[in-house]
Structure 1
Amino acid sequence: MPACRFHACRMGIGRIGKPQVPRPAIPPIDVLHSPDRSTTERILEETIMYLNRFSAFAAIVFFASTPALAETVNVSGVGHGSSTAVAMPASESLIVVHVTSSYDRFDTEDADNPFASATGPCFGAILVDKGVVSGEGLCHYTDANDDVAVIKWMANGMSAEGRTLGDWMVLGGTGRWASITGGGAFDAGGEGDDYTNIINGKVTMN
């Protein structure tokens, strides 16, 4: 655009004769849209407080809804006590044996073994049919916390030394035994007070 050489230019009139009205100064955008400092700090503090409360609430809900992790424990050991066996033959090849035992201690290397303090009786019957061994029974144990455990045993064989072989499983009980599951194998035998029961297996503390 050529330079203005007329008096009209100095009066604010352009080349086409219209007055050029000065535009009002527009404040910067950050001034128009930003609250004052005190308001900003208040909003920030309230936001942080809300997030902290939400995080704490979420943590409480998470831990409350997360079940405790199950723990598997090796329960291998040796039970000591006394035993009686009464044979009731039906024939030379068919014999029923009424068995009872009572445990007064259980030796184990694992302090977390729930059988470590268990004591009490077991009872049941064994059938010997043409040399094949079968049978089952129950045990009623009480531990140091006065919690009761009910154990099922199932005979399925006999060793060369005349010891009864079989399997066992936890059926339930009171206290922690109400949620314990698992089982294993046993090897039981001995006369009178020399009776021992060698236990192998694992249980899960749910």
Structure 2
Amino acid sequence: MKRLLLVTAFWAGAAGLAPAASFNAPATGTATETSIAYQVSDGHVVVHNMSQYTAMLTADPENPMNGAAGPCFGVIEFRQGAVSGGGKCVYTDQGGDHMVIGWAATAVAETGATTGTWTLEGGSGKYLGSSGGGAFQTTGPGPDGTETNAITGEITLP
């Protein structure tokens, strides 16, 4: 009888939980980029990258990433033609909550355009316990130091 009451209480409490909200994450961001390249040896370069995003724009205004802004930083290593590396982004959304996004570079063109993957690793407020991920592709820095980042994927809020 005690077990039945515990199970009933659990399911009654669980019934009051709100379902998770998922959002497709297509977004476009514009950033000012600063990169410093360190030549280690012939065919081996390490690049420290810092980008400051002014606002992510999404087609869905309800997407929590819409209007998010903040820094992305990391390191990309080029060694004998292979690309590796990654970093973090710390975006602040329009409501003031922070999201932490990890990124990994999978390819970099001679222009600096970077392709890779991203993972939503959590944050504050609505991003506590969140998950998600996808792909990104930057244009590389233009003559004025700005780049555009096209993001695809999905995020799920608890």
Q: Same fold (TM over 0.5)?
A: yes
The correspondence of residues 21-100 of structure 1 with structure 2, limited to 5 A, is 64-66=13-15, 67-100=17-50
1:128 to 64, 78, 95: 78
> Structure with the greater relative contact order (CA < 8 A, sep ≥ 6): 1 or 2?
2
Do 2:57 and 2:67's aligned partners in 1 also have CA atoms closer than 8 Å?
no
The equivalent of 1:200 in structure 2 is 152
Gaps (5+ residues) in structure 1?
1-60
Partners of 1:62 and 1:90 in 2: how far apart? 59
| Counterparts of residues 107-146 of structure 1 (less than 5 Å) | 107-146=57-96
Match of 1:104 in 2: 54
What secondary structure, in the 3-state scheme, does the structure 2 residue paired with 1:90 have?
strand
Secondary structure of 2:66's match?
coil
TM-score, normalised by the number of residues in structure 2: 0.85
Gaps of 5+ in 2: 1-9
**Deviation per CA, 1:70-119, whole angstroms, max 9, x where unpaired?**
22210101111210111101012000000000000112101122111211
CA–CA separation in structure 2 for the residues paired with 1:129 and 1:167: 20
Cα displacement string for residues 19-47 of structure 1 (whole angstroms, at most 9, x for unaligned residues): xxxxxxxxxxxxxxxxxxxxxxxxxxxxx
The alignment's TM-score, normalised by the length of structure 1, stands at: 0.66
Q: What SS does the aligned partner of 1:176 have?
A: helix
Preserved CA contact (<8 Å) 1:119 1:141 = yes
Which structure has the highest helix share of the two?
1
Alignment pair present for 1:152 and 2:152:
no
- Taking a change above 3 Å as real, the CA distance of residues 103 and 62 of structure 1, as seen in their structure-2 partners, is same
Structure 1 runs of 4+ aligned residues shifted over 3 Å read 61-64, 159-162
Two-structure CA RMSD over aligned residues (Å):
1.9
Q: CA deviation at 1:179?
A: 2.4
Letter in 2 for 1:199: I
CA contact (8 A) 1:75 1:114 kept: no
Percent identity, aligned pairs only, is 38
